[in-house]
Structure 1
């Protein structure tokens, strides 16, 4: 491991303790390194603005930081156990290449605001990806809702209830994912505040140009108070994970439907072959493994959120406990976004088994239609309800699923899906 940034003369480091302190920071910081580099470029510019660096030193630092980013992307620079973490790797590289200019780059900042700003930039990127995945899933759902309206049994309590349709099913999940995109966008706006320049949580005795770093890094506003910058660590990560979890809750329910609908007992849906796998022992099996893992993905995000939350039983100011939050948010977003990325293609290519769905619609499922029609004709609803219940087995006489769906004209229902309204909301997210 290179010389430690905080090493004091005359002190000895114990390798076992250092391994424990470093944990898997070096591995995790590979995920955040490019964000840390961008923040270092902005910080160098700010230092030049207040005379700590010359313009020549600033330009040299920016040039070397860009080179480090290129080398990292190309695999020519590897963040490994030579370094304590990504922050020390950046400073070691700059010092090696530029000497004193590299040694000056840490002026006025702490690893606390370095990790804060790198994580904040990373979360903004991930929330943008989350919104994009939700938008694409909603787009596919709306296209399919507009293109086909096959009769489909509607269930409550997993019991056959009323006549529904594939269009209503798709439109329901479209609206869910539009809301999820809104939540991702709003959460991104909420955390869009620059903590760089708050140092270890108490500011520094320099007139740091925080307006410069805010603009250079594309933040919407400054996170003003240094104490709050530390208080927000973990709080903002939980908000981002909550936004991701909301989308994965919708994915979980969608995946549950598909898990049921693909069984032989239902037989409503055929999945693309690529989304299924075979059994290692049963030659007859094709299993919906991808759908099942989509269903399970919420658990990974919920676990990540809990892990971060449990770290926050802390007083104000920075505590080393927070180091462990990086792994949680990385693994939560990696798994959650990976599941959502597969969803649009799956939705576009799944096939409905129209005969099987029609065969599952039984006469009693028209009973609600009968009761509502009688109520509309002036019969008190509870009286109409009892009469329809008594004659449930005959409720389907002279009726078809298509007529039932067309008559369902309450706004948003099968006869008035309001797809134009949903498309208008979706267009807010499109270029």
Structure 2
């Protein structure tokens, strides 16, 4: 069994160990590559302040190279006996290097070791999420451009309201996703500060080269206050999950609309066949399972977010409660990334039934246009509103294309401002 880093002798209750370790060792398998990268930066920092000699750094670097290679090949597998990834790394270095390996933990704690591994992981995950969300926004803007003036009913309260367009509908999701990218990137900027060197939250009596280590790890700066670094755990994870939730909240609305629009009752759009499944008993069925699971994905992220938020009602300093924020973080980000990765392909394959959408734009949908026309001719709007309301039964069906073209308030169907949104998208890439 791997010696635990906190072991000072004496027997520990086996059930207690299982309870405290839980599945942390399995979760740390996901973070092991980041832990190894941070360990390398840490030992190089120790050499710069004279804690390690050149020879010790050389052999330590070589041993870490071997561990990185083994991990990349899937051969560095953690077990329950390791307790966590930090213990496994130190144990491997000690097994290979003896006393030199025992120096690796000088000036650091498992607390800042997990903090830096998490921030490195979160930085990569947020970068992926920003890219995938941008891809989804791009697909929706392309759809908006292709179907810029394709008429479809606009709804409020799920009741037909006014003539709208597929362009307006698609661009609404695109702009919301661009907002989500801004939030993801803002969160990434907060994550992008190195906590390594905070130790257990109170620093150490060594002049650690925290800035040099941060630069080597690619961080833009250092999270200076060690207690602040420690108490950021959980709060930062909640911010990361909140950014992911913001992106998936847009996808949830898209999925909801597609769930409705693909029903026989609406019949506005057909999903790509590759994105549907069949029934095990009803031969005729093609089910929109993908969009239904996309709709549910936001709830998975929200559940992870709430789980983390309720965990961090703690006083200052480290508390073992924080270990339990790791699983929801990984689970929530996995769900967000997996879902967002599918969105562009789904959007690219949508097939709209133009005749069905046009026929759903019934005469009452033109009531607002008529009221505005009367107001433009000099009738006070409230009087025009009442006059049109009294004449609804005799209101004739208007020209949907003309209605869209006439609606020229900036951003409306007649002036979608797609160039502005495309410029904003281009600035993100």
2:358 corresponding residue in structure 1:
358
Secondary structure in 1 matching 2:408: coil
User: Could you tell me how far apart the structure 1 residues matched to 2:81 and 2:39 are?
Assistant: 20
Q: Deviations over 1:34-59 (max 9, x none)?
A: 11111101101100000111122223
2:87 is the counterpart of 1:79? no
2:380 corresponding residue in structure 1:
380
- Greater CA drift, 379-388 or 92-101: 92-101
2:149 is the counterpart of 1:133? no
User: Could you tell me how far apart the structure 2 residues matched to 1:353 and 1:62 are?
Assistant: 62
User: Could you tell me how far apart the structure 1 residues matched to 2:107 and 2:286 are?
Assistant: 59
Kept in 2: contact 1:370–1:395 (CA 8 A): no
Please state how far the C-alpha of 1:82 moved relative to its aligned partner. Answer: 3.3
1:265 corresponding residue in structure 2:
265
2:66 is the counterpart of 1:59? no
Please state how far the C-alpha of 1:418 moved relative to its aligned partner. Answer: 0.5
Please state how far the C-alpha of 1:60 moved relative to its aligned partner. Answer: 2.4
2:43 is the counterpart of 1:35? no
Q: Structure 2 matches for 1:186-335, cutoff 5 A?
A: 186-335=186-335
Kept in 2: contact 1:262–1:270 (CA 8 A): yes
Q: Deviations over 1:366-417 (max 9, x none)?
A: 11111111111111001111111122244344x3111000001000001101
Kept in 2: contact 1:364–1:394 (CA 8 A): no
Please state how far the C-alpha of 1:88 moved relative to its aligned partner. Answer: 0.6
Matched length: 428
Kept in 2: contact 1:44–1:105 (CA 8 A): yes
2:401 corresponding residue in structure 1:
402
Please state how far the C-alpha of 1:19 moved relative to its aligned partner. Answer: 0.8
User: Could you tell me how far apart the structure 2 residues matched to 1:402 and 1:83 are?
Assistant: 67
User: Could you tell me how far apart the structure 1 residues matched to 2:105 and 2:229 are?
Assistant: 18
User: Could you tell me how far apart the structure 1 residues matched to 2:410 and 2:272 are?
Assistant: 33
Please state how far the C-alpha of 1:30 moved relative to its aligned partner. Answer: 1.1
Secondary structure in 2 matching 1:143: helix
Q: Deviations over 1:264-288 (max 9, x none)?
A: 0000110111211112222221111
Secondary structure in 2 matching 1:300: helix
4+ residue segments displaced more than 3 Å: 393-397
Kindly report the root-mean-square deviation, in angstroms, between the aligned alpha carbons of the 2 structures: 1.1
User: Could you tell me how far apart the structure 1 residues matched to 2:339 and 2:146 are?
Assistant: 25
Please state how far the C-alpha of 1:315 moved relative to its aligned partner. Answer: 1.1
Please state how far the C-alpha of 1:81 moved relative to its aligned partner. Answer: 2.1
1:167 corresponding residue in structure 2:
167
User: Could you tell me how far apart the structure 2 residues matched to 1:416 and 1:63 are?
Assistant: 62
User: Could you tell me how far apart the structure 2 residues matched to 1:59 and 1:258 are?
Assistant: 58
2:137 is the counterpart of 1:147? no
User: Could you tell me how far apart the structure 1 residues matched to 2:232 and 2:396 are?
Assistant: 59
- Greater CA drift, 65-74 or 379-388: 65-74
Q: TM-score with structure 2 length normalisation?
A: 0.98
Secondary structure in 2 matching 1:160: strand
Kept in 2: contact 1:301–1:333 (CA 8 A): yes
Q: TM-score with structure 1 length normalisation?
A: 0.97
User: Could you tell me how far apart the structure 2 residues matched to 1:301 and 1:250 are?
Assistant: 13
User: Could you tell me how far apart the structure 1 residues matched to 2:405 and 2:57 are?
Assistant: 68
Kept in 2: contact 1:409–1:416 (CA 8 A): yes
User: Could you tell me how far apart the structure 2 residues matched to 1:405 and 1:160 are?
Assistant: 15
User: Could you tell me how far apart the structure 2 residues matched to 1:358 and 1:36 are?
Assistant: 57
Secondary structure in 2 matching 1:153: strand
1:370 corresponding residue in structure 2:
370
User: Could you tell me how far apart the structure 2 residues matched to 1:56 and 1:171 are?
Assistant: 60
Please state how far the C-alpha of 1:71 moved relative to its aligned partner. Answer: 1.2
Secondary structure in 2 matching 1:202: coil
Q: Deviations over 1:313-347 (max 9, x none)?
A: 21100001100000010001111211111101101
Structure 1 gaps, min length 5 = none
User: Could you tell me how far apart the structure 2 residues matched to 1:57 and 1:371 are?
Assistant: 82
Kept in 2: contact 1:183–1:243 (CA 8 A): yes
